[in-house]
Amino acid sequence: MRKNMNHIVTIDGPAGAGKSSVAKDIARQLKYQYIDTGAMYRAMALQAMRKKIPIQNEKKLLTHLKSTKISFKNKKNINCIFVNGKEETQAIRSPEATHGSSAIAVHKGIRKMLVKKQQDMGRAGGVVMEGRDIGTVVFPQARFKFYLDASPLERARRRYKELKAKNMPANLNKIAASIKERDQRDSARQTSPLRPAADAVIIDTTPLSQKQVCQAILCHIDNVKKLMKKHETTDRHG
């Protein structure tokens, strides 16, 4: 298990910092599986809304959602999420599911349940997992941990462009306000608050392109692997 920690890449950070795009690209280049843990919380929120379970009622949420099965599958270079065998890739991206995911994530029982699912998914290694507590809670012993951040305005602009590109309604001011609210909620929650791991590499993506961020991450991984290999060789030869 400990050896597998060398083959797990964790990428954390707030909304709009560029985690998803970067994590997908890193996974592709390393030939690892990409796991979007935020999508798992969105999926739970979507299920709760469909079952008409109040997001604030943790006991009911756990009762009705504990048997929910979540899986990922790559289809034509698109990372698709399946909930109880049904593809929900587009459905979980609705504004309602997005808002609900942050609200549902404050529940200790829900987070514990999903953390267990995430650990099961990544236990064998060969994964790039992105979220908000991957390096601090899900895989704190992972060798490669990164925390991406950007200015609130830049993050709002990115989300605005993303929604417009998908022909979805978008208002920059509302997005900025929503990001600010989510930052406060994620950072202030008692269970798994949003924060970088003590040994994470922190990257401010505000002035950087996606390609530059990926290059920085891959360069760090390559340098560490070379150093590990050098130490192994030294140890073998005394």
pLDDT grade for 231, boundaries at 50, 70 and 90: confident
Q: Supply the pLDDT for residue 166.
A: 81
Q: Is the model's pLDDT at 204 over the cut of 60? A: yes
Q: What is the 3-state secondary structure (H, E, C) of the chain?
A: CCHHHHHEEEEECCCCCCHHHHHHHHHHHHCCEEEEHHHHHHHHHHHHHHCCCCCCCHHHHHHHHCCCCEEEEEECCEEEEEECCEECCCHHHCHHHHHHHHHHCCCHHHHHHHHHHHHHHHCCCCEEEEECCHHHHHCCCCCEEEEEECCHHHHHHHHHHHHHHCCCCCCHHHHHHHHHHHHHHHHHCCCCCCCCCCCCEEEECCCCCHHHHHHHHHHHHHHHHHHHHHHHHHHHCC
Cα three-residue angle 185-190-192, rounded to 5 degrees: 85
pTM, two decimals, is 0.88
What is the distance in angstroms between the CA of the first residue and the CA of the last residue of the chain?
Answer: 26
pLDDT value at residue 237 = 61
10 pairs with which residues across the strands? Answer: 129, 145
pLDDT at res. 78: 82
Strand order from edge to edge, sheet including 70-75: 70-75, 78-83, 86-87
The answer to whether 22 and 214 have CB atoms below 8 angstroms apart is yes
Q: Residue 97 and residue 41: Cα distance in Å, rounded? A: 9
Q: Give the per-residue pLDDT at 189.
A: 82
Tens digit of each residue's pLDDT (9 = 90 or more) over 60-117: 999 989 899 999 988 877 889 999 999 999 999 888 898 899 889 889 999 999 999 9
pLDDT at 55: 92
Per residue in 165-182, pLDDT (tens digit) is 888 888 999 999 989 988
Q: Per CATH, which fold does 8-225 belong to? A: Rossmann fold (3.40.50)
| Average pLDDT, integer, range 118-142 | 95
Tokens 């970088």, residue? 196
The mean of the pLDDT values for the chain is: 91
Higher pLDDT, 234 or 192: 192
Beta strands 33-36 and 127-131: pairing type?
A: parallel
